Amino acid sequence: MHETGVFWLRVATVLYGVGLLHALAVLVRKKAGFLKYALFAFLMGAVLHFVSIVELTTAIGHLPVDNFFECATVCAFLIAVLFLYVYWRYDYASLSVCIFPLVFVLAQIGAMETPILSWPNPRVRSAWLLVHVMMILLGYAALLLTAVASIFYLIQERQLKRKKKVNLFTKLPPLATLDNLVTNSMSLGFVFITLGVIAGSTWASIESGTSWITDPRIALAFITWGFYLTMVFLRATAGWRGRKAALMAVAVLCCSALTWAAHIGLRTMLAAK
């Protein structure tokens, strides 16, 4: 079945991966030098993506939007094109921080419609899972730090606005320090969670074929990641900082807690299998 189409999609996903790396590097280091290369790889990815969609369309006779995977890949392509247009027209590159990861993850979901391979041996399987869990845990740790710093920010901001100190909180750090801490830990957390989500979704697709996407827990994980992406986006491009950003960080933490709670059941499910 339309082998070449899927092949080109996978190559495109790898090229989008360069963009993803760029976005993560920007988040961690504030400045990454290779935007030109990342944009070029992204453009090539979009071209191959187009080739893949054309091939699939000719193979099945209509636009491949029959299921979630196919929708995801078409959606990824449209976003990529839109971004490239905006970049070409307005020279507006700061969106890349959010667009690169988003397109990569959507393309990756699309590329996993047909299972690639089975586990070469159980060790790789469990090592992969361990990587996923570690990444997610590191991400949650960073997110927790973000949320705590955000709560401190909200308290300190309230004290400064009300011009009154509560005894317990007279020694809080300055607002700017807390805001920086929120930004840095949030960026780092996003890097870990993104890598964790990618590792987790590939693991799940190899493990259980195409049925993984319908698992509500995994859907929830993607939604959480989406929230996180939105937060990074608003902060990086729309200049959300201070109180609004702090409130949002707390909301994302709650959302993540929900995902985590949903996954607690996962181990028992695996054991029962």
Residue 151 burial (C-beta neighbours within 10 Å; 0-12, 13-18, 19+): middle
Residue range at the interface with other proteins (CB under 8 A); choices 33-41, 60-68, 123-131, 159-167: 159-167
Minimum CB separation of residue 244 from other proteins in Å reads: 7
Instruction: Give the list of residues 6+ apart from residue 263 with CB closer than 8 angstroms, or none.
Output: 217, 221
**Which residues within the stretch 11-50 sit at the binding site for other proteins (CB under 8 A)?**
none
Minimum CB separation of residue 229 from other proteins in Å reads: 20
Supply 104's token pair: 């990569």
- How many residues bind other proteins (CB under 8 A)? The answer is 16
Residue range at the interface with other proteins (CB under 8 A); choices 61-69, 95-103, 169-177, 222-230: 169-177
Interface with other proteins (CB under 8 A), residue from 86, 125, 173, 217: 173
The C-alpha angle with vertex 244 and arms to 241 and 245, in degrees rounded to 5, equals: 50
- Residue 198 CA to residue 175 CA, distance in Å, equals 34
**Which residues within the stretch 119-158 sit at the binding site for other proteins (CB under 8 A)?**
156
Nearer to other proteins (CB atom), residue 178 or residue 252: 178
- Decide if residue 167 touches other proteins (CB under 8 A): no
- Residue 83 CA to residue 88 CA, distance in Å, equals 8
Helix residue ranges, H only, the chain: 3-29, 35-60, 68-90, 96-111, 122-162, 175-208, 216-236, 243-272
- Residue 262 CA to residue 186 CA, distance in Å, equals 22
The C-alpha angle with vertex 41 and arms to 134 and 203, in degrees rounded to 5, equals: 30
Supply 231's token pair: 């937060």
**Which residues within the stretch 175-214 sit at the binding site for other proteins (CB under 8 A)?**
175-177
Interface with other proteins (CB under 8 A), residue from 25, 134, 202, 242: 242
Helix residue ranges, H only, 163-242: 175-208, 216-236
Interface with other proteins (CB under 8 A), residue from 31, 239, 264, 273: 239
Nearer to other proteins (CB atom), residue 62 or residue 161: 161
Interface with other proteins (CB under 8 A), residue from 227, 240, 257, 263: 240
Minimum CB separation of residue 159 from other proteins in Å reads: 9
Residues near other proteins (CB under 8 A) are: 156, 160-161, 163, 165, 173-177, 239-244
